[in-house]
């Protein structure tokens, strides 16, 4: 029996074992961070339950906004992703990011594979993932900056000005590199030169491959209106999530600490974006609580509100995300979606317009990854989310 044939024979068993290992890792990671649930019983005992459905609706709209941002970025390359599967993918990817070691990398790979199933080529899928991450961080920095301005107007002060403004400046600079080819290629060239001087790598062949990949990715262009809509959807994602948090205060019978709410939320989420723990476990709770107490909030009610918020925005989303992950995996198994990358991918290609500008069109493909024959279209005809 040849090696490939032997591998195909044992792959189903290996896949099951690998799935069990991943599940075990997820359980181990989450079980080591269940301390935040230890006090939730007392919070639920005096909860005003009428606020809970509204908070859950706000959290759901947060994920809808995040999916809409991805939909718009994929549309730049001419791919009209099916909305419901894209939303399910968004929940599933978040569950992976929140519960696995190196979850953000696993989540990116998972999203990449589903973008390919929706009809995106390698370049577009990579570009959309990069754009999603950058737009999310930039919009979070904007939300935190607005919160800083509002808190300052109300007489509050916390030594967060350098950190928040610095985060905004860095993210905007990264966004500029993403939008414009010249500074991105210049940065790559200088980075490669520095790396070669220090380590002797990459090799010329590897450098050519990097340049080819980057050139392919930079064929995508966002028009000013698309930049604005992307940042708006990203900001809506964070604001709806913050609204979910704000509703937790009246849910426990406490006034909403408007004075520093948005700043405390933005600072907490920025801290959680650091790759310290999956899903920011412990980081979000501590950062938001400390900031709100510093603004004059009552420590007991703030802790209770943060615990309740995390119960919805983290633990409930985790359950929903893994359930949808299972549903999508079952659909793949039943043949609704391709198990592998497309044989004839959609690749965004630069086309010269009559006025000399460069626009992006999608190359035709032979096979469709889904049962929706309209999943690919001209970029200009992609409807808003």
Contacts of 29-36 spanning 24+ positions with Cβ under 8 A = 29/99, 29/100, 29/101, 29/278, 30/99, 30/278, 30/318, 33/277, 33/278, 33/281, 33/282, 35/282, 36/281, 36/282, 36/285, 36/307, 36/310
pTM: 0.72
Length of the chain: 385
In this prediction, residue 310 carries a pLDDT of: 85
Mean pLDDT of 186-206: 74
Report CA-CA distances (Å) from 242 to 262, 263, 266: 7, 10, 9
In this prediction, residue 208 carries a pLDDT of: 73
In this prediction, residue 10 carries a pLDDT of: 60
Q: What is the DSSP code string of 110-153?
A: HHHHHHHHHT--HHHHHHHHHHHHHHHHHHHHHHHHHHHHHHHH
Beta strands in the chain (DSSP E): 348-352, 358-362
Question: What pLDDT digit, counting tens, does each position of 96-123 carry?
Answer: 988 887 778 889 999 999 999 999 988 8
Please compute Rg for the chain using Cα positions.
Answer: 23
CB burial of residue 32 (10 Å; 0-12, 13-18, 19+): exposed
Q: Is the pLDDT of residue 292 over 60?
A: yes
In this prediction, residue 18 carries a pLDDT of: 57
Q: Which two tokens stand for residue 51?
A: 């606020």
In this prediction, residue 197 carries a pLDDT of: 78
| Secondary structure (3-state) at 352 | strand
Question: What pLDDT digit, counting tens, does each position of 44-82 carry?
Answer: 767 888 999 999 999 999 999 999 999 999 998 889 999
Question: What pLDDT digit, counting tens, does each position of 133-182 carry?
Answer: 889 989 998 898 888 888 776 655 556 666 677 777 877 777 776 666 66
Kindly state the percentage of the chain with pLDDT values over 70: 60
In this prediction, residue 74 carries a pLDDT of: 94
In this prediction, residue 214 carries a pLDDT of: 65
Q: Which two tokens stand for residue 74?
A: 């994929």
- Cis upstream peptide for 272 (omega within 30°): no
pLDDT band at 254 (very low <50, low <70, confident <90, very high): confident
| Secondary structure (3-state) at 93 | helix
In this prediction, residue 47 carries a pLDDT of: 81
Which is more confidently placed, 342 or 103?
103
Q: Which two tokens stand for residue 149?
A: 């301005």
For the CA atoms of 186, 187, 188, 191, the dihedral, rounded to the nearest 10 degrees, stands at 120
Cα distance between residue 170 and residue 60, in whole Å: 29
In this prediction, residue 370 carries a pLDDT of: 40
Phi first, then psi, for residue 64 (nearest 5°) are -60, -40
Question: What pLDDT digit, counting tens, does each position of 207-249 carry?
Answer: 777 666 666 666 677 888 888 999 999 999 999 999 999 999 9
For the CA atoms of 108, 109, 111, 112, the dihedral, rounded to the nearest 10 degrees, stands at 110
Q: Are strands 348-352 and 358-362 parallel, antiparallel or unpaired?
A: antiparallel
**Chain center to CA of 237:** 10
Question: What pLDDT digit, counting tens, does each position of 260-271 carry?
Answer: 888 888 877 877
Cα distance between residue 286 and residue 306, in whole Å: 9
In this prediction, residue 268 carries a pLDDT of: 78
Mean pLDDT of 81-99: 93
pLDDT band at 297 (very low <50, low <70, confident <90, very high): low
Mean pLDDT of 322-339: 90
pLDDT band at 355 (very low <50, low <70, confident <90, very high): very low
In this prediction, residue 87 carries a pLDDT of: 97
């Amino acid at each position: 029996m040849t090696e490939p044939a032997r591998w195909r024979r044992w792959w189903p068993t290996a896949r099951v074992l690998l799935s069990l290992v991943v599940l075990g890792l997820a359980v181990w990671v989450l079980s080591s961070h269940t301390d935040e649930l230890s006090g939730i019983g007392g919070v639920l005992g005096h909860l005003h339950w009428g606020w809970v459905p509204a908070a859950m609706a706000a959290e759901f709209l947060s994920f809808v906004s995040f999916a809409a941002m991805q939909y718009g970025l994929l549309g730049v390359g001419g791919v009209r992703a099916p909305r419901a599967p894209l939303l399910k993918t968004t929940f599933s990817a978040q569950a992976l990011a929140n519960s696995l070691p190196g979850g953000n990398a696993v989540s990116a790979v998972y999203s990449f594979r589903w973008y390919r199933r929706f009809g995106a080529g390698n370049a577009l899928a990579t570009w959309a993932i990069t754009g999603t991450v950058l737009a999310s961080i930039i919009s979070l920095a904007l939300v935190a900056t607005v919160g800083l301005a509002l808190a300052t107007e109300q007489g509050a002060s916390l030594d967060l000005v350098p950190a928040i403004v610095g985060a905004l400046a860095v993210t905007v600079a990264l966004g500029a590199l993403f939008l414009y080819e010249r500074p991105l290629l210049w940065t790559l060239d200088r980075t490669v030169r520095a790396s070669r001087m220090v380590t002797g790598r990459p090799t010329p062949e590897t450098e050519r491959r990097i340049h080819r990949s980057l050139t392919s990715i930079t064929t995508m262009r966002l028009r000013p209106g698309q930049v604005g809509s992307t940042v708006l959807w990203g900001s809506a994602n964070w604001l709806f999530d913050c609204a979910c948090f704000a509703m937790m205060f009246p849910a426990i019978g406490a006034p909403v600490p408007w004075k520093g709410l948005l700043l405390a939320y933005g600072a907490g989420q920025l801290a959680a974006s650091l790759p310290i723990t999956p899903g920011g476990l412990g980081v979000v709770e501590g950062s938001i609580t400390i900031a709100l107490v510093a603004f004059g909030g009552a420590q007991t009610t703030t802790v209770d509100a943060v615990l309740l918020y995390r119960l919805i925005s983290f633990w409930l989303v985790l359950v929903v995300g893994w359930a949808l992950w299972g549903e999508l995996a079952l659909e793949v198994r039943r043949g609704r979606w391709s198990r592998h990358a497309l044989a004839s991918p959609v690749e965004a290609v630069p086309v010269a317009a009559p006025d000399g500008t460069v626009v992006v069109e999608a190359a035709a493909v032979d096979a469709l990854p889904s049962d929706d024959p309209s999943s690919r279209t001209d970029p200009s005809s992609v409807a808003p989310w």
